[in-house]
Amino acid sequence: MLDNNNPNHILNSLQSRKDKGLLRQLKTNFPEIDFCSNDYLGFNRKSIEVIQEPYESGSSGSRLISGNSIYIEETEKEVAKFHNAESALIFNSGYDANLGLFSSVPQKNDLILYDELIHASIYDGIRLSYAKHYKFKHNNVEFLNDLIQRHKNSFTNIYIAVESIYSMDGDLAPLLEIVELKKHNKNIFLIVDEAHAIGIFGTSGSGLCNLLNIEEDCFARIYTYGKAMGCHGASVVGSNTLRDYLINFARSFIYTTALPQHSIANINNAYKLLQNLTQINKLQTVISYFLSNTNHLKNLIKSNSAIQCLIVGDNNKVDNLENILAQNNIYVKAIKSPTVKVGTERLRVCLHAFNTVKETDLLIKALSDEKFCQVFKT
């Protein structure tokens, strides 16, 4: 049947996704036992209890027009202090932060070198930049160094973009080795996205850069609040000069309505909750328990982070495995290509401070069940 209300490429693209079993759809009904969400510390649940003060529902404009306030700026000062930086600038989301930073800072005569598994928001920012860009093999410092040596005399500045914890494998970036490369070469600026490290590593959950004592070696760090912090928004942390530059040139900051006061209050409260290490310690206990009881599972990419992945290698199989777990009231998300490379489709397990021993045992039992394992063999 012809559809004259939509361009053909829209219809054809959707049909192609349907034919391949890759059509994304929104859900509202989720299994009860959560091993899927990014609410690693359970702050999303706690913040609802904490925030009781009345706030205006909106902010009435962008930060440069009517949406700024002393409260937001004081919060940014506290964020900067917490992360041992000169300044911080709050964006509406991690996507907006990465888009604004990478699209505005690198210039035409600059080069961006980025890990091939970098988050889509960073890559989208890179594509909007006028800078040249090349990817390097995942966590391969030798490959990165080769690119630096090959191109360092052809560009004014080189920006290296990595995530401290990668969202699909849960593995850690070789930050110490990358910092060493930076020290031996001029005009190299390191940008680290700490989205999946805040609340997990470092002093009071301040991130992997803090744990490794390399905060001063970073040109910019991005802290996203939609994961362990359990709220909304993100901060770009760096120098006062960087903050001034982003206010003037980051389009995703300039041309959007500011976060409302209650969102800023949630960010404030999340940082206060980090000072109490109870939830962080609980999460580390859950991670240790899961790792020590899953040595028998093949194809499991183990991680010291909250993210654990079971590589399946097939879209249909991983769909079936998600459904089997859902039948046991366990919510683990199937991550399919093209989100990940073909052949690396996986179940992504997210561990939380609120996951009980009973829930974790149920998950491990389900992952070890004969019916579950049979899918791998078919």
**Nearest to 271, CA basis, from 105, 75, 103, 57:** 75
- Sign, CA torsion 10/11/14/15: negative
- Sign, CA torsion 82/87/90/94: negative
Q: Is the distance from CB of 112 to CB of 129 less than 8 angstroms?
A: yes
Separation of CA 367 from chain center? 25
Q: Is the distance from CB of 237 to CB of 83 less than 8 angstroms?
A: yes
Q: Domain residue spans in the chain? A: 62-274, 277-377
Q: Which CATH class is domain 277-377?
A: alpha beta
Tens of each residue's pLDDT in the chain, 378 residues: 467 789 999 999 999 988 888 888 888 889 999 999 999 999 987 654 555 566 677 777 999 999 999 999 999 999 999 999 999 999 999 999 999 999 999 999 999 999 999 999 999 999 999 999 999 999 999 999 999 999 999 999 999 999 999 999 999 999 999 999 999 998 999 999 999 999 999 999 999 999 999 999 999 999 999 999 999 999 999 999 999 999 999 999 999 999 999 999 999 999 999 998 999 999 999 999 999 999 998 889 989 999 999 999 999 999 999 999 999 999 999 999 988 999 999 999 999 999 999 999 999 999 998 777 777 766
Three-class DSSP labels, 152-195:
CCCCCCEEEEEECECCCCCCECCHHHHHHHHHCCCCEEEEEECC
Residue 338 CB neighbours (<10 A): 10
CATH architecture of 62-274: 3-Layer(aba) Sandwich (3.40)
Backbone angles phi, psi at 41, to 5 degrees: -100, -5
Peptide bond before residue 174 is cis, with ω within 30 degrees of 0: no
Alpha carbons 229 and 199: distance in angstroms, whole number:
7
Q: What is the pLDDT of residues 297-317, one digit of tens each?
A: 888 998 999 999 999 999 999
